[in-house]
Structure 1
Amino acid sequence: MRVRSLAATLALAFGATTLAVFVLVGSFLYLALEKQIKAQDNLDIVLAARHARRLAEELETSMGIREHSDRLISIVLGNQAMSMEVFDPAGNRAVEHNIADTFAVPNVASGAATLAALPPLARVAASARITEADIGEWTGRNGAPIRGILTDARLRDGETASVLVARNMSDRWLLLDRYRDRLHLAGVAGVTLAMLLGYLLIRAALRPLRDIAASASLVTVNRLNTRIAVARVPSELETLVASLNAMLERVDLGFQRLSRFTADLAHDMRTPLSNMRGAAEVALARPRSVDEYESLLASNLEECDRLSRMIENVLFLARAEHPQFVKHMREFDAARELSHIAEYFEGIAEEALVRVRVSGAASLTADLELFRRAVSNLLANAIRYTPQGGEIVLDASASADVVRVTVSNEGQPIAAEHIERIFDRFYRVDPSRSSLPSSGLSRGSTGSAGLGLAIVRTIMELHGGSVHAQSDARSTRFVLVFRRGG
């Protein structure tokens, strides 16, 4: 199905609007002209009837009507559409002018007609004032529309004559018809011109959109840093351009993070594989004893565990970023869970010659397994970097709005330039890539693969909370912030 052009659609809409305006304005002008013409013609008929009656009333007898016919007829002379008839007191036509098309019946205009043969009109009394309301309408010969007034005129001898003043409206009809035809022609031409100009103007107005599309087409995988130029963009499109550029910025950052993540993952996976390959090649270089082979298998098993933990962490991060990741929220005693985690790590802590202490008290609503995994990762990290004889403190505290769980340890402080990046995937403060032996803890990996703190941040984001680090000469502190009701 062919998609209709936006410019054509808007041009059609503009043309339809223009047509509606033309119809309304044209109808108004036509009706106004018709009303004005009718009012002027009515005034001419009324004035002519008044003048004719006044002249007739100056006559002495009915004989004076014929004697002064020229004077009476002069009232309507000069207007081919006006006609007049004057009837004597006996009802016979005494004066006539231009009545050929005034009546539909031929003998009415033959000269033998009487007042009784006229169309049924309301006769105006001689003493009554002639107004527009007294004008009657009828159809003349050939269907011509006629408007006129029939009025009585009292002669000086007391006799009553009748005066008929009429106007043939055919010329007015023709005038209005021509005016209507011109309005139609002007309307069609105006609508066509409006549609054409509207289409051209709309295409010109939509040019920035085409420029935006052209700029967007330049964005490729290898040119994600390309941005849509905002120069000379209409104000209505500035928000669109800004949104598109912000989207491209997010895509660029996401692609860069993905590239770094892939590179780091490949590097970290290559290390244990290289270790296993190197150890195997050394072992196969010459015959070895059973103990040496067992040591080789044990070393390879540790590297396999490291790879397994790394893959598990990557899969967890991938699942956690899915919108349908399921959390099992429940309320529990945070201090009690911290004590359980500390007991589990007691053996590892003793081997590292560090102490783990739990303090505080707070009730927390969260996913218990994810909570254990986050704290375990922080505690494993603290054990790794706490000097012998040092102390690690697990603390839980609550306020009106949030619950804070803090893991603090003694040791070398983290430099300020690293403090914000340590939660990035595969980021390490030092170049060392040592790993902590697997604990087998079901609540999550504690080995270092550059993903432990990234997992902590992801877990906190899933809970609508946050995690941040503070480090000084006294200690390094990782703070989990859970919002109440989160």
Structure 2
Amino acid sequence: MKNWLKNFSLTTRLSIAFSAICCIVFVSIGLLSYHNMQQLLAKQLDQNLIARVERIEIFLQDQESFQILIKHPSLYENMLGKEDNLLILKNQQQSLIEINPLKVHIPNTTESKTITFLNNQSKFATTRLAYKTVVFNDQHYQLIAGTQLDEAQSILDQYLWKLILYSLLGIVMASLLGRWVGLYLLKSLNNLIEQTYKIQGTQLHQRIEDKSTTVEVEQLRAAMNAMLEKIQINYDQLARFSEDIAHELRTPLNNLMGQTQIMLMQSRPKQELEQLLYSHLEEYERLSKMIDNMLFIARSESRDYILEKEHIDLSHLILELIDYFEFLAEDRQMSFVLQLEKELQIYGNADLLKRALSNLIINALDYGLKDHDIVISTKSIENAVEIEILTTNIFIDQQHLNHLFERFYQIDSSRHSKAKTGGLGLSIVKSIMMLHNGEANVYNSHRGVVFSLRINI
């Protein structure tokens, strides 16, 4: 059934569903109406028989009328007027009146002080009977009246055919109306589909402008425009990333080729060749570092990346990093100022967190000023821990702050400072924070630029 419906449009499916519902409703109403009509005719038939029995009782109360009816039963038969009607009056010895032109079989009846109904036979009944025991002149008489069921059945048959005809007509009209309504309601959806088809991969700036009066379609239009906005942003980032990576790879490759070509122009002493190899080795290490960083970022963005976590003493982790970078800071005439809360515990991967903090510390050492401090502080906020690294008296223009964590983003044209991280240091920090369901931010304070890491406890 599902495979069969796949071949039809949504409008056709709605029409089929609406037609099926109409069929169920009309058939249910038709069956209920037929059943009510059947009960109504049966009740009316029984009421006619009751009136006939009561009429005979009135005759029996008059001795003269009773004698005339017994002597001339044809009079009552003429009064009935229909050949299919039935009237029997009998006592225990004989039948006094027997009007039964169709020779209907009369089943055995018992005494009953009230009017009792029964059919002439249990299956395929043809006559409806009503009988009652009446007392006249201290004698018990059995009074039986009956009428044929053919007329009622004929009315029911005619009513059934009309029900079928009207139901079919109603189903057809409801189906056509349902398809028209479906086409009208889905018109805005079809317009949305047409506009979506017009948007090409090279025209991601286009948006679906035509608004719909249907709430659901309007919500879909807004969602699709939001999706296009995200796709455009990601597309622009990918294009910029492709340009940056091409530039980053081209620079060391050009250096390698240029140096090699110069060396090949003439014979060189062994010492120059060794220096060339060392220079090449540095470029190779830079390329290798860049590729490793790119692979790490790609893996971290994958949903299948499995991160091993443990409980970590944050203060102890930071002190280990300070011991490692302290000599480099002294060499650059800079110093670390620590403002660490004690006994702060976080749940994460120690190696990755060290890598993120190392990248930020290296960034602070590269861009920091001599005789200035690098302030590292930690504090607990609600259900999170915040780590801040302040580079004093260094400020970044507001236009750059929102792009610092993008891959290969640079503030100035110089790229020499990216050699240690391949231009991906801050992007790696952001990826590590995403793996820990945390955040990486940067802002300017009154003392300098602050890189902030927020990790949920």
Structure 2 match to 1:24 = 28
Decide whether aligned partners of structure 1 residues 210 and 383 sit closer, same or farther in structure 2, where only a CA change above 3 A counts: same
Between 355-364 and 315-324, report the one with greater CA deviation: 355-364
CA–CA separation in structure 1 for the residues paired with 2:316 and 2:22: 77
8 Å contact kept, 1:403–1:483: yes
Matched, 1:212 2:215: no
Q: TM-score, normalised by structure 1?
A: 0.80
Matches within 5 A, 1:51-90: 51-60=55-64, 64-65=68-69, 72-73=76-77, 75-77=79-81, 79=82, 81-84=84-87
The worse-fitting range, judged by mean Cα deviation, of 270-279 and 192-201 is 192-201
Q: 1:422 aligned to 2:404?
A: yes
Count of residues in correspondence between the two structures? 450
Structure 1 range deviating more: 401-410 or 286-295: 286-295
Mapped partners of 2:233, 2:119: distance in 1:
86
Amino acid in the other structure paired with 2:443: Q
Give the match for residue 373 of structure 1.
355
Code of the residue aligned with 1:14 in structure 2: it is: F
Alpha-carbon distance between aligned partners in 1 of 2:65 and 2:327, rounded to the nearest angstrom? 147
Q: 1:275 to 1:435 in 2, by over 3 A?
A: farther
- CA–CA distance in 2 between the matches of 1:119 and 1:409? 114
- Paired-residue identity, %: 26
Q: Say yes or no: does 1:469 pair with 2:451.
A: no
Instruction: Judge which range, 186-195 or 427-436, deviates more.
Output: 186-195
Structure-2 residue corresponding to 1:352: 332
Deviations 1:151-200 (A, max 9, x none): 55737xx8887765332222112221222233233334433444444345
- 1:198 is aligned to 178
Other structure's SS at 2:409 match: coil
Deviations 1:325-348 (A, max 9, x none): 233323333333333323333443
Letter in 2 for 1:121: T
Q: Distance in 2 between matches of 1:395 and 1:62?
A: 122
Q: How does 1:63-462 map to 2 (within 5 A)?
A: 64-65=68-69, 72-73=76-77, 75-77=79-81, 79=82, 81-84=84-87, 91=94, 93=96, 99-104=100-105, 119-122=107-110, 133-138=115-120, 144-149=126-131, 152=134, 154=136, 164-229=144-209, 231-232=211-212, 234-362=214-342, 363-365=344-346, 366-398=348-380, 401-435=383-417, 447-462=420-435
1:86–1:267 distance in 2 versus 1, CA, 3 Å: same
Q: Which amino acid aligns with 1:319?
A: R
Could you tell me whether the CA contact under 8 Å between 1:144 and 1:169 is conserved in 2? yes
AA at the equivalent of 2:282: E
Task: Quote the offset at 1:86 in angstroms.
Answer: 5.8
- State the 1:221 CA deviation: 2.1
Which letter maps to 1:216? T
- Secondary structure of the residue aligned to 1:332 is strand
Report the residue type matching 1:58 in the other structure: D
> Residue in 1 aligned with 2:53?
49
Q: Which amino acid aligns with 1:100?
A: P
Are the equivalent residues in 2 in contact too, given 1:359–1:393 (CA < 8 A)?
Answer: yes
8 Å Cα contact 1:102-1:146 kept in structure 2? no
Shift of 1:102: 4.4
Contact 1:123/1:150 (8 A) holds in 2: yes
**Partner Cα separation in structure 1 for residue 185 and residue 226 of structure 2:** 24
Matched position secondary structure for 1:449: coil
**Partner AA of 1:467 in structure 2:** A
Task: Give SS of 2:311's match.
Answer: strand
Change (3 A) 1:333 1:177: closer
State the structure with more CA Rg: 1
Deviation at 1:260, TM superposition (A): 0.8
Moved more, 172-181 or 341-350: 341-350
Given that residues 62 and 88 in structure 1 are in contact (C-alpha distance below 8 angstroms), is that contact kept between their aligned partners in structure 2? no
Does the residue aligned with 1:435 lie in a helix, a strand or coil? helix
Residue 439 of structure 2 aligns to which amino acid in structure 1?
A: S
Query: TM-score of the superposition, structure 2-length normalised?
Result: 0.84
Q: CA deviation at 1:399?
A: 5.2
Unaligned 5+ runs, structure 1? 105-117, 438-446
The CA deviation string for residues 102-121 of structure 1, in whole angstroms up to 9 with x for no partner, is 434xxxxxxxxxxxxx6533
CA contact (8 A) 1:135 1:149 kept: yes
Equivalent position SS for 2:232 = helix
Summarize deviations over 1:317-372 as a string: whole Å, max 9, x none: 11111122233323333333333323333443344333344442443433121122
d(CA) in 2 for partners of 1:74 and 1:135?
A: 24
* Contact 2:89–2:98 under 8 Å retained in 1: yes
Offset from partner CA, 1:259-299 (integer Å, 9 cap, x none): 11111111122122223333334444455554444443333
RMSD (CA atoms): 3.4
Distance change >3 Å, CA 90–CA 374, structure 1 → 2:
closer
Which residue identity does 2:257 align to in structure 1? R
Question: In structure 2, what residue type is equivalent to 1:101?
Answer: L
Question: Matches of 2:22 and 2:135 in 1, distance apart?
Answer: 55
Instruction: Note closer, same or farther for the CA distance 1:71–1:456 as it changes in structure 2 (3 Å cut).
Output: same
CA distance in 2, matches of 1:206, 1:419: 46
The one-letter amino acid paired with 1:19 is: C
Partner of 2:19: 15
Question: How far off its partner does 1:122 sit?
Answer: 4.1
